[in-house]
Chain A
Amino acid sequence: DIVMTQSPDSLAVSLGEGATINCKSSQSVLYSSDNKNYLAWYQQKPGQPPKLLIYWASTRESGVPDRFSGSGSGTDFTLTISSLQAEDVAVYYCQQYYTTPRTFGQGTKVEI
Protein backbone atom coordinates (compact mmCIF):
# COMPACT_ATOMS: atom_id res chain seq x y z
CA ASP A 1 0.00 0.00 0.00
CA ILE A 2 1.07 3.59 -0.60
CA VAL A 3 1.25 5.33 2.76
CA MET A 4 0.18 8.98 2.79
CA THR A 5 1.63 11.07 5.61
CA GLN A 6 0.39 14.58 6.29
CA SER A 7 2.03 17.26 8.35
CA PRO A 8 1.25 18.88 10.64
CA ASP A 9 -1.59 17.01 12.33
CA SER A 10 -3.13 20.34 13.26
CA LEU A 11 -2.42 24.03 12.93
CA ALA A 12 -3.91 27.26 14.17
CA VAL A 13 -3.95 30.20 11.81
CA SER A 14 -5.16 33.75 12.23
CA LEU A 15 -7.90 35.02 9.96
CA GLY A 16 -6.38 36.38 6.78
CA GLU A 17 -3.12 34.53 7.27
CA GLY A 18 -1.85 31.70 5.10
CA ALA A 19 -1.85 27.99 5.90
CA THR A 20 0.28 25.23 4.42
CA ILE A 21 -0.39 21.52 4.69
CA ASN A 22 2.08 18.93 3.48
CA CYS A 23 1.44 15.44 2.18
CA LYS A 24 4.11 12.86 1.45
CA SER A 25 3.51 9.56 -0.31
CA SER A 26 5.65 6.49 0.32
CA GLN A 27 6.08 6.06 -3.43
CA SER A 28 5.61 8.26 -6.44
CA VAL A 29 2.05 8.90 -7.62
CA LEU A 30 3.23 10.48 -10.86
CA TYR A 31 2.06 8.40 -13.81
CA SER A 32 4.72 8.63 -16.48
CA SER A 33 2.50 8.03 -19.49
CA ASP A 34 0.31 11.07 -18.89
CA ASN A 35 2.61 13.06 -16.58
CA LYS A 36 -0.18 13.48 -14.03
CA ASN A 37 0.10 13.23 -10.28
CA TYR A 38 -2.76 11.07 -9.02
CA LEU A 39 -3.24 13.13 -5.87
CA ALA A 40 -6.36 14.84 -4.53
CA TRP A 41 -7.14 17.13 -1.60
CA TYR A 42 -10.43 17.08 0.28
CA GLN A 43 -11.96 19.37 2.89
CA GLN A 44 -14.22 17.96 5.59
CA LYS A 45 -16.20 20.21 7.89
CA PRO A 46 -17.76 18.83 11.10
CA GLY A 47 -20.77 16.65 10.43
CA GLN A 48 -20.32 16.84 6.65
CA PRO A 49 -18.93 14.52 4.00
CA PRO A 50 -15.59 15.35 2.40
CA LYS A 51 -15.56 17.85 -0.44
CA LEU A 52 -13.12 17.66 -3.33
CA LEU A 53 -10.89 20.74 -3.52
CA ILE A 54 -7.99 19.76 -5.78
CA TYR A 55 -7.24 16.90 -8.18
CA TRP A 56 -4.18 16.08 -10.29
CA ALA A 57 -2.32 17.68 -7.36
CA SER A 58 -2.95 21.22 -8.62
CA THR A 59 -6.25 21.43 -10.53
CA ARG A 60 -8.89 23.27 -8.57
CA GLU A 61 -12.35 21.72 -8.62
CA SER A 62 -15.07 23.91 -10.08
CA GLY A 63 -16.42 26.37 -7.54
CA VAL A 64 -13.49 26.10 -5.16
CA PRO A 65 -12.18 29.56 -4.15
CA ASP A 66 -8.84 30.49 -5.65
CA ARG A 67 -7.31 30.96 -2.21
CA PHE A 68 -6.91 27.17 -2.27
CA SER A 69 -4.00 25.91 -4.34
CA GLY A 70 -2.13 22.65 -4.68
CA SER A 71 1.43 21.99 -5.72
CA GLY A 72 4.08 19.30 -5.78
CA SER A 73 5.00 16.24 -7.78
CA GLY A 74 6.13 12.68 -7.31
CA THR A 75 6.01 12.09 -3.57
CA ASP A 76 5.76 15.57 -2.01
CA PHE A 77 2.70 17.74 -2.18
CA THR A 78 1.35 20.89 -0.56
CA LEU A 79 -2.08 22.42 -0.07
CA THR A 80 -1.95 26.15 0.51
CA ILE A 81 -4.73 28.38 1.77
CA SER A 82 -3.57 31.88 0.93
CA SER A 83 -5.81 33.88 3.26
CA LEU A 84 -7.71 31.85 5.81
CA GLN A 85 -11.42 32.54 6.16
CA ALA A 86 -13.62 31.44 9.03
CA GLU A 87 -15.39 28.96 6.77
CA ASP A 88 -12.08 27.19 6.05
CA VAL A 89 -12.00 25.65 9.52
CA ALA A 90 -12.02 21.95 8.70
CA VAL A 91 -9.97 18.80 8.44
CA TYR A 92 -8.06 18.43 5.19
CA TYR A 93 -7.11 15.08 3.65
CA CYS A 94 -4.84 14.14 0.80
CA GLN A 95 -5.55 10.96 -1.17
CA GLN A 96 -3.69 9.09 -3.85
CA TYR A 97 -5.65 7.45 -6.65
CA TYR A 98 -2.61 6.10 -8.45
CA THR A 99 -3.22 2.56 -7.32
CA THR A 100 -5.43 0.34 -5.19
CA PRO A 101 -5.98 0.74 -2.30
CA ARG A 102 -6.61 4.44 -2.76
CA THR A 103 -5.12 5.59 0.52
CA PHE A 104 -5.81 8.77 2.46
CA GLY A 105 -3.59 10.76 4.73
CA GLN A 106 -4.42 10.93 8.42
CA GLY A 107 -5.86 14.42 8.08
CA THR A 108 -4.80 17.90 9.16
CA LYS A 109 -7.09 19.94 11.35
CA VAL A 110 -7.08 23.67 10.60
CA GLU A 111 -8.32 25.98 13.33
CA ILE A 112 -8.39 29.68 13.95
Chain B
Amino acid sequence: QITLKESGPTLVKPTQTLTLTCTFSGFSLSTGGVGLGWIRQPPGKALEWLALIYWDDDKRYSPSLKNRLTLTKDASKNQVVLTMTNMDPVDTATYYCAHMDSDGQGSETGDGAFDMWGQGTMVTVSS
Protein backbone atom coordinates (compact mmCIF):
# COMPACT_ATOMS: atom_id res chain seq x y z
CA GLN B 1 0.00 0.00 0.00
CA ILE B 2 1.45 3.31 -1.10
CA THR B 3 1.22 6.25 1.27
CA LEU B 4 2.69 9.74 1.10
CA LYS B 5 2.69 12.47 3.69
CA GLU B 6 3.86 16.03 3.41
CA SER B 7 5.29 17.89 6.39
CA GLY B 8 6.73 21.30 7.04
CA PRO B 9 5.92 24.70 8.47
CA THR B 10 2.41 26.07 8.18
CA LEU B 11 3.58 29.68 8.25
CA VAL B 12 6.64 31.29 6.71
CA LYS B 13 7.63 34.92 6.39
CA PRO B 14 8.27 36.64 3.06
CA THR B 15 11.83 36.13 1.78
CA GLN B 16 12.30 33.03 3.94
CA THR B 17 13.09 29.59 2.56
CA LEU B 18 10.42 26.89 2.72
CA THR B 19 11.48 23.30 3.35
CA LEU B 20 8.89 20.58 2.80
CA THR B 21 9.39 16.87 3.31
CA CYS B 22 7.48 14.08 1.63
CA THR B 23 7.73 10.85 3.60
CA PHE B 24 6.51 7.83 1.70
CA SER B 25 6.04 4.10 2.08
CA GLY B 26 5.03 1.19 -0.12
CA PHE B 27 7.50 1.89 -2.89
CA SER B 28 11.16 2.60 -3.52
CA LEU B 29 12.36 5.68 -5.34
CA SER B 30 15.21 3.53 -6.63
CA THR B 31 12.90 1.27 -8.64
CA GLY B 32 12.92 1.87 -12.36
CA GLY B 33 10.01 3.94 -13.64
CA VAL B 34 9.17 5.45 -10.26
CA GLY B 35 9.03 9.18 -9.65
CA LEU B 36 7.83 11.62 -7.03
CA GLY B 37 6.38 14.97 -7.90
CA TRP B 38 5.36 18.15 -6.10
CA ILE B 39 2.22 20.07 -7.00
CA ARG B 40 0.66 23.07 -5.28
CA GLN B 41 -2.79 24.61 -5.16
CA PRO B 42 -3.51 28.16 -3.97
CA PRO B 43 -6.79 28.46 -2.08
CA GLY B 44 -9.70 28.15 -4.49
CA LYS B 45 -7.42 27.89 -7.51
CA ALA B 46 -6.09 25.27 -9.90
CA LEU B 47 -3.27 22.80 -9.51
CA GLU B 48 0.25 23.90 -10.44
CA TRP B 49 3.04 21.39 -11.13
CA LEU B 50 6.31 22.31 -9.40
CA ALA B 51 8.92 19.57 -9.73
CA LEU B 52 9.59 15.87 -10.27
CA ILE B 53 12.41 13.55 -9.27
CA TYR B 54 12.87 10.28 -11.12
CA TRP B 55 14.21 6.93 -9.93
CA ASP B 56 17.57 7.66 -11.58
CA ASP B 57 17.84 10.99 -9.71
CA ASP B 58 16.97 13.00 -12.80
CA LYS B 59 15.15 16.14 -11.67
CA ARG B 60 12.79 18.43 -13.51
CA TYR B 61 11.55 21.80 -12.33
CA SER B 62 8.90 24.27 -13.38
CA PRO B 63 10.75 26.81 -15.56
CA SER B 64 8.91 29.69 -13.88
CA LEU B 65 10.18 28.59 -10.46
CA LYS B 66 13.38 26.80 -11.39
CA ASN B 67 15.71 29.29 -9.74
CA ARG B 68 13.89 28.90 -6.44
CA LEU B 69 13.35 25.12 -6.23
CA THR B 70 15.62 22.28 -5.18
CA LEU B 71 14.77 18.60 -4.82
CA THR B 72 16.79 16.16 -2.76
CA LYS B 73 16.07 12.58 -1.85
CA ASP B 74 17.09 10.52 1.15
CA ALA B 75 16.59 6.93 0.03
CA SER B 76 17.41 5.51 3.46
CA LYS B 77 14.59 7.50 5.05
CA ASN B 78 12.15 7.21 2.14
CA GLN B 79 11.95 10.97 1.95
CA VAL B 80 12.10 13.67 -0.69
CA VAL B 81 12.71 17.25 0.34
CA LEU B 82 11.57 20.28 -1.65
CA THR B 83 13.09 23.64 -0.82
CA MET B 84 11.70 26.88 -2.18
CA THR B 85 13.63 30.07 -1.61
CA ASN B 86 12.49 33.68 -1.36
CA MET B 87 8.90 32.91 -0.38
CA ASP B 88 6.20 35.44 -1.24
CA PRO B 89 2.54 35.72 -0.22
CA VAL B 90 1.57 34.49 -3.71
CA ASP B 91 3.21 31.16 -2.76
CA THR B 92 0.48 30.58 -0.18
CA ALA B 93 -0.98 27.23 -1.15
CA THR B 94 -1.54 23.60 -0.27
CA TYR B 95 1.53 21.64 -1.33
CA TYR B 96 1.12 18.02 -2.42
CA CYS B 97 3.59 15.27 -3.18
CA ALA B 98 2.52 12.51 -5.55
CA HIS B 99 3.76 9.11 -6.78
CA MET B 100 4.35 8.13 -10.37
CA ASP B 101 4.96 4.60 -11.68
CA SER B 102 5.57 4.91 -15.37
CA ASP B 103 6.48 1.23 -15.80
CA GLY B 104 3.27 0.17 -14.08
CA GLN B 105 1.33 2.32 -16.52
CA GLY B 106 3.10 0.78 -19.51
CA SER B 107 5.14 3.82 -20.39
CA GLU B 108 8.08 3.53 -22.75
CA THR B 109 9.42 6.99 -21.93
CA GLY B 110 9.65 6.91 -18.16
CA ASP B 111 6.80 9.37 -17.74
CA GLY B 112 3.38 8.66 -16.32
CA ALA B 113 0.46 10.15 -14.44
CA PHE B 114 0.43 10.72 -10.69
CA ASP B 115 -1.48 7.76 -9.30
CA MET B 116 -1.23 8.42 -5.57
CA TRP B 117 -1.20 11.74 -3.72
CA GLY B 118 -0.49 12.83 -0.18
CA GLN B 119 -3.13 14.72 1.77
CA GLY B 120 -1.24 17.96 1.28
CA THR B 121 0.10 20.57 3.65
CA MET B 122 -1.13 24.17 3.75
CA VAL B 123 1.58 26.82 3.77
CA THR B 124 0.79 30.46 4.42
CA VAL B 125 3.28 33.16 3.58
CA SER B 126 2.75 36.23 5.72
CA SER B 127 4.71 38.62 7.85
A residues whose Cβ falls under 8 Å from a Cβ of B: 1, 31, 33-34, 36, 38, 40, 42, 44, 48-52, 55-56, 59, 61, 93, 95, 97-98, 100-107
Could you say which residues of chain B place their CB within 8 Å of the CB of A103? 49
Cα A52 to Cα B108 in complex, Å, equals 20
B residues whose Cβ falls under 8 Å from a Cβ of A: 37, 39, 46-49, 52, 60-64, 96, 98, 105-109, 111-120
Asked if residues A106 and B105 are in contact (CB atoms below 8 Å), the reply is no
Cα A106 to Cα B44 in complex, Å, equals 11
Cα A69 to Cα B69 in complex, Å, equals 36
Also in contact, A101 and B105, with CB within 8 A (given A51-B117, A93-B46, A95-B113): no
Chain B binding site: helix, strand, loop or mixed by DSSP? loop
Cα A74 to Cα B107 in complex, Å, equals 17
Q: How many A-B residue pairs have CB under 8 A?
A: 72
Cα A61 to Cα B105 in complex, Å, equals 9
Closest chain-A Cβ to B26's Cβ sits at a distance in Å of: 15
Cα A61 to Cα B116 in complex, Å, equals 11
Asked if residues B105 and A56 are in contact (CB atoms below 8 Å), the reply is yes
Also in contact, A104 and B115, with CB within 8 A (given A31-B109, A33-B108): no
In the complex formed, the residue of A with least CB distance to B108 is A34
In the complex formed, the residue of A with least CB distance to B63 is A101
In the complex formed, the residue of B with least CB distance to A53 is B113
Closest chain-B Cβ to A107's Cβ sits at a distance in Å of: 5
Could you say which residues of chain A place their CB within 8 Å of the CB of B106? 56
Also in contact, A52 and B119, with CB within 8 A (given A102-B49, A104-B49): no
Cα A95 to Cα B60 in complex, Å, equals 16
Closest chain-B Cβ to A83's Cβ sits at a distance in Å of: 25
Also in contact, A104 and B117, with CB within 8 A (given A49-B96, A97-B111): no
Q: Among B46, B52, B114, point to the contact of A105 (Cβ < 8 A).
A: B46
Closest chain-A Cβ to B14's Cβ sits at a distance in Å of: 24
Could you say which residues of chain A place their CB within 8 Å of the CB of B120? 49
Cα A106 to Cα B46 in complex, Å, equals 5
Jot down 22 A-B pairs with beta carbons below 8 A, ordered by A.
Answer: A1-B63, A40-B113, A42-B47, A42-B114, A50-B39, A50-B96, A51-B117, A52-B113, A52-B114, A52-B115, A55-B112, A55-B113, A55-B115, A59-B105, A95-B113, A97-B113, A100-B62, A101-B62, A102-B49, A102-B52, A104-B46, A104-B49
